[in-house]
């Protein structure tokens, strides 16, 4: 029997007992007093009028209560109709985790159409519907997490349905508490995102295929150029009796170029074994300057190093970072074919060291500056456009950042920042 029905029967019983008590007690008091007949009749009339007034008031409140109840019932029916029409799982539980209401989608999902679920916990239903035992017990665990969090929680839940399909739901759980902080109820809403997850997986797969296609096109284009040169010179050597020495040098140079392209691709696409250990920043800068100074002199470029710290240490693979700064300085050299100046300036605070490499080259237009670092985008006639992409990857692996500032005809400044090792 429902609690609402018990309350109704209790009110009827109280009214019945109260009425009998009123009649009997009032009659006994009147008889005991021994009033004259005319006064007795007036008292009896007054008693009847009082009873009628009280009864009328009670009936009025009962009618109002009934109207409010009917209105609430209509609203509840409308709400349940709306909830049942939803393509989402909606379930109401009480403070003890017992199921009170579930919409049609939920009944069909857990095959509860012919099961009296009301008043059952997830553990009880797990025994009644063994197929869903694991997801129901997991649901009981996530309910507990929502109660403990005291606020609305959100998670993803996946399980297999009877037709063999794996369903994934975006689940929101809203716990309710009374004024004393006691558990009052729990609302669970689960949206089926199975198709969305499948679409995301398909989109990711297409994106990977697109990247592979772009990568393959870039490799084919870059390798085809030196191969064409090699093929032409070999045909020329075959037709001529004497082969000039410079032909061999050109072929070897083009083979080195192919090897460099393949090497860049390996660094970009395959995780490299790195030896991370602390080293001094001034050692890194000195080594890079020794390697690049000869080429800078050939192009009439002055390289100046300022504020080299003697005791600042960073942690990582020094060989990889040498590759990064060689690439940055070579880009600066390429930007100054008629000579210029490269300034290396180092700034530091308690946590970060910043290495500025500034040149006086031709600069980079704003519309191209935003694309710097993208694979296969390059400002050079010869090059694959992977140098800065690889450098950015190495810097990121060292928990650093790369920033490029440039102004046309005034120069470019590259700022590389790393956390200081303590």
Q: Are 336 and 409 in contact (CB under 8 A)?
A: no
* Sheet with 352-359: strands ordered across: 301-306, 340-348, 352-359, 411-419, 401-407
277-419: what CATH class? Answer: alpha beta
Check residue 258 and give its pLDDT.
Answer: 73
Strand partners, 102: 91
Q: Pick from 1-15, 62-76, 320-334 the range whose average pLDDT is largest.
A: 320-334
Residue 383's pLDDT band, with cuts at 50, 70 and 90, is: very low
Q: Return contacts of 364-367, CB within 8 angstroms, 24+ apart.
A: 364/404, 364/406, 364/408, 364/412, 365/408
Check residue 216 and give its pLDDT.
Answer: 65
Neighbours of 335 (CB within 10 A): 21
> Which one, of 345, 296, 326, 304, lies nearest residue 394 by Cα?
326
- CA–CA dist 367, 101 (Å, integer): 59
Evaluate whether the domain defined by 199-269 bears CATH number 3.90.1150.10. no
The ranges of the chain annotated as CATH 3.30.565.10 are 277-419
**pLDDT > 70: percent of the chain:** 81
**What is the CA angle 312-313-316, rounded to 5?**
150
Tokens of 352: 């970060």
Give yes or no for residue 38 having a pLDDT over 80. Answer: no
Per-residue pLDDT of 236-260, as tens digits, reads: 777 776 767 776 777 777 777 677 6
- CA–CA dist 271, 294 (Å, integer): 31
What lies within 8 Å, CB to CB, of 152 at 6+ separation is 146, 172, 173, 174, 175
According to CATH, what is the number of the domain 86-192?
A: 3.30.450.20
Give me the mean pLDDT over the 139-156 stretch: 89
Check residue 10 and give its pLDDT.
Answer: 75
Strand partners, 301: 340
Give me the mean pLDDT over the 140-164 stretch: 89
Per-residue pLDDT of 181-237, as tens digits, reads: 899 999 999 999 988 888 877 876 776 666 566 566 666 666 766 777 677 777 777
Residue 131: what are its φ and ψ, rounded to 5°? -60, -35
Check residue 215 and give its pLDDT.
Answer: 60
Give yes or no for residue 330 having a pLDDT over 60. Answer: yes
What lies within 8 Å, CB to CB, of 140 at 6+ separation is 97, 121, 122, 123
Tokens 């008693």 found at: 47
Per-residue pLDDT of 79-128, as tens digits, reads: 777 778 788 899 999 989 999 889 988 899 999 988 899 889 999 999 99
- CA–CA dist 91, 107 (Å, integer): 10
Give yes or no for residue 388 having a pLDDT over 70. Answer: yes
**pLDDT > 90: percent of the chain:** 20
The ranges of the chain annotated as CATH 1.10.287.130 are 199-269
* pTM for the whole structure: 0.42
Check residue 384 and give its pLDDT.
Answer: 39
């Amino acid at each position: 029997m429902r609690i609402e029905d018990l309350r109704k029967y209790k009110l009827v019983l109280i009214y019945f007992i109260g009425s009998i008590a009123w009649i009997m007690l009032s009659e006994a008091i009147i008889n005991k007093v021994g009033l004259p007949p005319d006064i007795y009749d007036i008292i009896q009339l007054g008693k009847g009028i009082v009873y009628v007034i009280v009864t009328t008031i009670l009936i009025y409140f009962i009618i109002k209560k009934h109207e409010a109840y009917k209105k609430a019932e209509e609203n509840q029916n409308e709400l349940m109709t709306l909830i049942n029409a939803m393509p989402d799982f909606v379930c109401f539980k009480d403070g003890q985790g017992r199921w009170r209401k579930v919409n049609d989608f939920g009944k069909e999902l857990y095959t509860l159409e012919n099961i009296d679920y009301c008043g059952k916990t997830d553990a009880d239903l797990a025994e009644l519907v063994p197929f869903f035992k694991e997801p129901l017990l997991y649901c009981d665990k996530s309910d507990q997490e929502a109660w403990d969090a005291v606020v609305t929680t959100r998670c993803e839940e996946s399980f297999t349905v009877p037709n063999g399909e794996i369903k994934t739901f975006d689940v929101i759980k809203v716990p309710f508490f009374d004024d004393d902080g006691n558990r009052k109820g729990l609302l669970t809403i689960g949206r089926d995102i199975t198709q969305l997850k499948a679409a995301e997986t398909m989109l990711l797969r297409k994106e990977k295929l697109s990247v592979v296609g772009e990568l393959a096109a870039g490799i084919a284009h870059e390798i085809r150029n030196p191969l064409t040169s090699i093929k032409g010179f070999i045909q020329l050597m075959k037709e001529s009796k004497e082969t000039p020495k410079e032909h061999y040098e050109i072929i070897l140079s083009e083979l080195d170029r192919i090897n460099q392209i393949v090497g860049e691709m390996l660094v970009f696409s395959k995780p490299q074994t790195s030896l991370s250990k602390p080293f001094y920043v001034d050692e890194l800068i000195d080594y890079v300057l020794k390697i690049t100074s000869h080429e800078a002199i050939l192009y009439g470029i002055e390289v100046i190093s300022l504020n080299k710290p003697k005791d600042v240490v960073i942690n990582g693979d020094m060989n990889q970072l040498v590759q990064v700064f060689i690439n940055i300085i070579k880009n600066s050299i390429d930007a100054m074919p008629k000579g210029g100046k490269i300034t290396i300036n180092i700034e530091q605070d308690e946590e970060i060291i910043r290495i500025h490499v500034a040149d006086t080259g031709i600069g980079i237009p704003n519309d191209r500056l935003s694309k710097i670092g993208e694979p296969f985008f390059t400002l050079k006639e010869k090059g694959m456009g992977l140098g800065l992409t690889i450098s950015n990857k190495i810097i990121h692996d060292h928990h650093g950042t790369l920033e490029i500032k440039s102004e046309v005809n005034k120069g470019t400044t590259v700022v590389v920042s790393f956390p200081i090792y303590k």
